[in-house]
Structure 1
Amino acid sequence: MSFSQNIDDEYEKFIRRMNPPRVVIDNEYCKTATVIQVDSANEHGILLEVVQVLTDLNLMITKAYISSDGGWFMDVFNVTDQDGNKITDEGVMDYIHKSLGPDACFTSSVRRSVGVKQSMDHTSIELIGSDRPGLLSEVSAVLTHLKCNVVNAEVWTHNTRAASVMQVTDEKTGGAITDPERLSMIKKLLCNVLKGSNKSREAKTVVSHGVTHTERRLHQMMFADRDYDRPRDEASGEKQRPDVNVVNWQDRDYSVVTIRCKDRPKLLFDTVCTLTDMQYVVFHGNVDAEGPEAHQEYCIRHVDGSPVKSDAERQRLIQCLEAAIERRVSEGLKLELCTTDRVGLLSDVTRIFRENSLTVTRAEVTTRSGKAINTFYVRDASGCPVDAKIIDSIRQAIGQTILKVKGSPEEANQAPQESPSRFLFGGLFKSRSFCNFGVVKSYS
């Protein structure tokens, strides 16, 4: 660490001691949600860190008010659990206080870095390349052949590109893989799989012992890969996209971003993550996701203090936000697998998908106490509707009680719908009362 970085860290600690963060969790003044208020000294990235803590707990953010003018940051969130209930678990509330309160380290520059914390429990593998049917099956087959067990993984596909962050362990030791020659072989073989026969787009494999925040890293990887660039024929196609608009508010020297799309879990994290990594600062924001649609409004400036400067910058920001929203859209039939974990399980399951002409559009792989808990979103590789008979055949091959279907093939064959209407940004400044968020008392 350089001398200047040491000075910056010490300055951050001083500011934190003088202005310790404050977290208030209230279950009384809103009938339908728990209200969480976070006050802290302001700095770039703090909003993302707060949202990240809440979404990592699988909390649903139904409303949010954001204000960070000057040197102070203040956020108010209405949150529920996944069943729509208030947060009453003392363990969860204590974790929020510890993660965001005076004793937290979320303002540390080290915490905000990605992939800097070392782990000997597993080896992290980052993959990005051109998407194609059977890709996950091929990748997992290579890892099985190399005596690696996939304990955690997340796979996203978007705009012909596929990205994944995987955590693997050595089959024999159950820990991280440390042999440099073996790591080099893993990287080489996986990169060959990712390249396939496509020489026009780059494929990349990174192997390390670093611990990353998987979802933020996936956003960064796909952003760096420019997955937001669309072919001209697709850009003018009929597929309905999220409604994103960016205008400059000249009187106040802000750019105002408005987003309206179908609501889903972690949508707020996805948009805030993208704005942060594109070096924009959110000064004011208003989020409403109580219905089937989510409405988001942000007043932003670039970190250099300027609003959006050109039409080209505006178009790029719109494209990047659209991509951030679409990456996690779960197109396809949802399949959930729960069974005892073993080496080669992911390879066997995805091979069965491939042999039945199904392609994985998104996947979440986790291992808890020796149990594999995996979620796959699959579609027919040829673009045809998913055949219910094929799903029945796959379930018989894997196990009826092991693999469960969420929804129906008919529902999966319907294209996702977004609203074409636009959310007017002017409503953001009509009222800044906490009553809009179910808070009627002062937190002073």
Structure 2
Amino acid sequence: MFPLMESGLWMSLGAKAFDLWSLRRSVGVQASGVHTTIELIGRNRPGLLSEVFAVLTDLKCNVVAAEVWTHNSRMASVVYITDEATGGPIDDADRLSKIKQLLRYVLKGNRDKRSANTAISLGVTHTERRLHQMMYADRDYDRGDADEEESPSDRRKLQVTVENCTDKGYSVVNVRCKDRPKLLFDTVCTLTDMQYVVFHATLIAEGPEAYQEYYIRHSDGLPISSEAERQRLILCLEAAIKRRNTEGVRLELCCDDRVGLLSDVTRIFRENGLTVTCAEVSTRGSQAVNVFYVMDASGNPVQSRTIEAIRNEIGEAILHVKDDMYSKSSPQDGGKFSFGNIFRSRSEKFLYSLGLIRPDS
């Protein structure tokens, strides 16, 4: 009934989260006790991830984990690296400066008009929460930077409405879209980062669709006060939901980990005309467990012969293909919707227990 609900949500929304002022950088680096964290954001293009991993390999860095999101022509990534020689974090200031300089050069390319100065990150946060913050600060919700207009069919799959409930002093946010894991996480993170407080919420998952309703106020206690603010909230929630939507063919790589593995694999993708739309990289003991979603350089589905050529080169036993299938349901009525009180009690108790909503003042 409630696949939307995710453990650890409240911890990722706590007071230790990054301040938004620290997010407007193209590269940030931070050393922890076991690894060094690199944050990347810039304009997405075919081969970008391959170039990033090649630079890190040349600089004797081993990638132990990474997560990559792309949306609206932008790319954001959090990469965890260790020193190839010692297996520990990289804390040499000169070396870190060189890593940032070279990665910034790769990210900037010749088209990225938004590139900013580099800076060392200022804290620790949940990786996916951080990716939301980075892309929000980078204004990936601004469709003016998109290469293509959104199709009417895509618009029907996701509906976000925002209205004011004047008698109660709330703004009411309704979201209807395809259900998937971590949907609640994505929407609540965005509301929190935009300085809104959730007082009531209703969550329903029926079949392939999910419905969310939030009664919110701004952190100053007021509802949404202008049409511009309403439209901005709609765009930001739409972007938050789409960032994690995976497009393309799912490729799963599982093999012995080694330095330069990601550089080699993504180079093969690039040489075969593929672009990575999403990636999850992890290391479990001595094993590399990686997931890539790929499309061709024009954003079209990958031809089967290209996939087979890649598998032959990388190894059929270690690279597996999982087609990303989407539910095909009939378009629903596009009008406004609301939820009955019958569902409100149960979902409110859950969110109240996490501290994500507040009682009426």
Report the alpha carbon displacement of residue 236 of structure 1 after superposing the two structures with TM.
6.6
Q: Answer yes or no: is the 8 Å Cα contact 1:127–1:204 preserved in 2.
A: no
**Which residue of 1 is the match for residue 305 of structure 2?**
389
Report the alpha carbon displacement of residue 240 of structure 1 after superposing the two structures with TM.
1.5
Q: What's the CA shift string for 1:205-229, capped at 9, x where partnerless?
A: 5555954311000000000000000
Structure 2 CA distance for aligned equivalents of residues 213 and 106 of structure 1: 6
1:153 aligns with 2:66: yes
The residue identity in structure 2 corresponding to 1:369 is G
* Aligned CA distance change for structure 1 residues 197 and 365 (closer, same or farther; 3 Å): same
Show the 5 A alignment for 1:35-54. Answer: none
Structure 1 CA distance for aligned equivalents of residues 191 and 57 of structure 2: 38
1:134 aligns with 2:47: yes
1:304 aligns with 2:220: yes
Report the alpha carbon displacement of residue 433 of structure 1 after superposing the two structures with TM.
4.3
Report the alpha carbon displacement of residue 415 of structure 1 after superposing the two structures with TM.
11
Structure 1 CA distance for aligned equivalents of residues 259 and 122 of structure 2: 20
**Which residue of 2 is the match for residue 238 of structure 1?**
152
The residue matched to 1:268 in structure 2 has which SS? helix
Q: What's the CA shift string for 1:78-115, capped at 9, x where partnerless?
A: x8xxxxxxxxxxxxxxxx7xx79xxx9889634x4579
Identify the match of residue 122 of structure 1 among 35, 46, 52.
35
Structure 1 CA distance for aligned equivalents of residues 82 and 32 of structure 2: 11
Unaligned runs of 5+ residues in structure 1 are 1-32, 34-60, 64-76, 80-95, 439-444
Identify the match of residue 184 of structure 1 among 89, 93, 97.
97
Structure 1 CA distance for aligned equivalents of residues 277 and 51 of structure 2: 15
Name the structure, 1 or 2, with higher relative contact order (CA <8 Å, separation 6+). 2
Q: Answer yes or no: is the 8 Å Cα contact 1:256–1:425 preserved in 2.
A: no
**Which residue of 1 is the match for residue 15 of structure 2?**
109
**Which residue of 1 is the match for residue 125 of structure 2?**
212
Report the alpha carbon displacement of residue 120 of structure 1 after superposing the two structures with TM.
2.0
Report the alpha carbon displacement of residue 251 of structure 1 after superposing the two structures with TM.
1.0
The residue matched to 1:364 in structure 2 has which SS? strand
1:273 aligns with 2:184: no
* Aligned CA distance change for structure 1 residues 140 and 207 (closer, same or farther; 3 Å): farther
Identify the match of residue 252 of structure 1 among 148, 168, 175.
168
The residue identity in structure 2 corresponding to 1:240 is D
Q: Answer yes or no: is the 8 Å Cα contact 2:43–2:112 preserved in 1.
A: no
Q: Answer yes or no: is the 8 Å Cα contact 1:258–1:423 preserved in 2.
A: no
Report the alpha carbon displacement of residue 301 of structure 1 after superposing the two structures with TM.
0.4
* Aligned CA distance change for structure 1 residues 428 and 221 (closer, same or farther; 3 Å): farther
The residue matched to 2:181 in structure 1 has which SS? coil
Structure 2 CA distance for aligned equivalents of residues 236 and 139 of structure 1: 29
Q: Answer yes or no: is the 8 Å Cα contact 1:130–1:160 preserved in 2.
A: yes
* Aligned CA distance change for structure 1 residues 113 and 230 (closer, same or farther; 3 Å): closer
Report the alpha carbon displacement of residue 179 of structure 1 after superposing the two structures with TM.
0.9
The residue matched to 1:156 in structure 2 has which SS? strand
* Aligned CA distance change for structure 1 residues 403 and 178 (closer, same or farther; 3 Å): same
Q: Answer yes or no: is the 8 Å Cα contact 1:117–1:212 preserved in 2.
A: no
Report the alpha carbon displacement of residue 299 of structure 1 after superposing the two structures with TM.
0.4
Show the 5 A alignment for 1:313-392. Answer: 313-392=229-308
Structure 2 CA distance for aligned equivalents of residues 260 and 318 of structure 1: 12
TM-score, scaled relative to structure 2: 0.85
**Which residue of 1 is the match for residue 136 of structure 2?**
223
* Aligned CA distance change for structure 1 residues 340 and 107 (closer, same or farther; 3 Å): closer
**Which residue of 2 is the match for residue 9 of structure 1?**
none
Show the 5 A alignment for 1:30-109. Answer: 61-62=2-3, 109=15
Structure 1 CA distance for aligned equivalents of residues 347 and 241 of structure 2: 29
- Percent identity, please: 60
**Which residue of 1 is the match for residue 359 of structure 2?**
none
Structure 2 CA distance for aligned equivalents of residues 388 and 235 of structure 1: 27
Structure 1 CA distance for aligned equivalents of residues 341 and 82 of structure 2: 51
Select the structure of larger CA radius of gyration: 1
Structure 1 CA distance for aligned equivalents of residues 133 and 294 of structure 2: 24
Structure 1 CA distance for aligned equivalents of residues 57 and 186 of structure 2: 32
Report the alpha carbon displacement of residue 382 of structure 1 after superposing the two structures with TM.
2.5
* Aligned CA distance change for structure 1 residues 347 and 210 (closer, same or farther; 3 Å): farther
* Aligned CA distance change for structure 1 residues 351 and 249 (closer, same or farther; 3 Å): same
* Aligned CA distance change for structure 1 residues 154 and 417 (closer, same or farther; 3 Å): farther
Report the alpha carbon displacement of residue 436 of structure 1 after superposing the two structures with TM.
11
Question: Paired residues, what number?
Answer: 339
Structure 2 CA distance for aligned equivalents of residues 117 and 146 of structure 1: 16
Report the alpha carbon displacement of residue 371 of structure 1 after superposing the two structures with TM.
1.0
Structure 2 CA distance for aligned equivalents of residues 392 and 232 of structure 1: 34
Report the alpha carbon displacement of residue 199 of structure 1 after superposing the two structures with TM.
4.7
* Aligned CA distance change for structure 1 residues 143 and 417 (closer, same or farther; 3 Å): farther
**Which residue of 2 is the match for residue 197 of structure 1?**
110
The residue matched to 1:318 in structure 2 has which SS? helix
1:286 aligns with 2:202: yes
The residue matched to 1:240 in structure 2 has which SS? helix
Report the alpha carbon displacement of residue 231 of structure 1 after superposing the two structures with TM.
2.2
Structure 2 CA distance for aligned equivalents of residues 335 and 275 of structure 1: 32
Structure 1 CA distance for aligned equivalents of residues 331 and 215 of structure 2: 22
